[in-house]
Structure 1
């Protein structure tokens, strides 16, 4: 299925092609995407409405999150992710649980590698937990939260040692889901997101080395 202009531009923001502060020019995007300017204009308007883009004079630029917005986003993400884990522990199919376990084992081979690859693997892991909750409304809200996460210029997986810690946390989350222990899954995922937030704050403050 061919992606529309909105999806293509959003994908490029999530992939870091367009970073916070970058200016998006309608004509340049239309040429690069091989479409007319009308769908690009409509896509940019939609992204602006969703808070992904902001105005700088007459130009549209990729938005960025200040400290308070970042904290607010993580508060919401922590609770929603925890709820998804709780529901996954109750409703995940055997197949979904096996795939989650397989992801943890496969991701061991990524340790110490490219932070962007680790970040994509992390998103894939969390996305399956969202789907395994079998609650479409929760999945929709988490999609919005993760869309806003794209406005962060760096990944916490660039912090030295974060990949090994995060994978151990993923293992703990899956163990709780395998045991169908909703409360343990909820607490494990909330702790995981809380530690990721601490890492991000320390990276932003320049306290942690990145690679």
Structure 2
């Protein structure tokens, strides 16, 4: 029997599924669920402190997005090959160039100054932690994406 906290009991099933999806996706990205790992809804539900229903919903969505592969009743984390990465990078190179072109005239002076300061703050590699690197990377890429005006 799964026991849920009062806070969890008040959340709609959709919110619980979204929370489960976000956490499972994070686990995949962090390597806590590496490619080839068999995923079991019961274990994940217990680990996340949720009932199996929102976890099953999240797993179905993640399978639909290609993060998980279903073989009959068994779900596994999708592995990413070297070839997959090369194809993704080739596609990304094309998309990012167009996105940067769209964003060029739309980004505010304030945002440009923030980006410049963040990048210049990483000139000395001894001062750049792994977290800082990825925070600045996210800032740059998300700023360009946002300024492009393309919701996708």
Q: Retained in 2: the 8 A contact 1:54–1:62?
A: yes
Tell me how many residue pairs correspond in the alignment: 136
**1:70-96 per-position Cα deviation (integer Å, ceiling 9, x unaligned):** 232122111111112111211111122
Give the aligned partner of residue 137 of structure 2: 122
**1:79-133 per-position Cα deviation (integer Å, ceiling 9, x unaligned):** 1111121112111111221121122023335557554653443233212221122
Residues 1-211 of structure 1 aligned to structure 2 (within 5 Å): 4-55=19-70, 58-108=73-123, 111=126, 114-115=129-130, 118-136=133-151, 140=152
**1:141-194 per-position Cα deviation (integer Å, ceiling 9, x unaligned):** xxxxxxxxxxxxxxxxxxxxxxxxxxxxxxxxxxxxxxxxxxxxxxxxxxxxxx
Alpha-carbon distance change, 55 to 117 in structure 1, aligned in 2, over 3 angstroms? farther
Q: Retained in 2: the 8 A contact 1:110–1:118?
A: no
Distance (Å, rounded) in 1 between the aligned partners of 2:76 and 2:126: 34
Alpha-carbon RMSD? 2.5
Moved more, 11-20 or 126-135: 11-20
Q: Retained in 2: the 8 A contact 1:20–1:64?
A: yes
Alpha-carbon distance change, 10 to 38 in structure 1, aligned in 2, over 3 angstroms? same
Greater RCO (CA < 8 Å, at least 6 residues apart): 1
Does the residue aligned with 2:21 lie in a helix, a strand or coil? Answer: helix
Unaligned runs of 5+ in 2: 1-14
Moved over 4 A (4+): 109-117
**Radius of gyration: which is bigger?**
2
Q: From the two aligned structures, give the one with the greater helix fraction.
A: 1
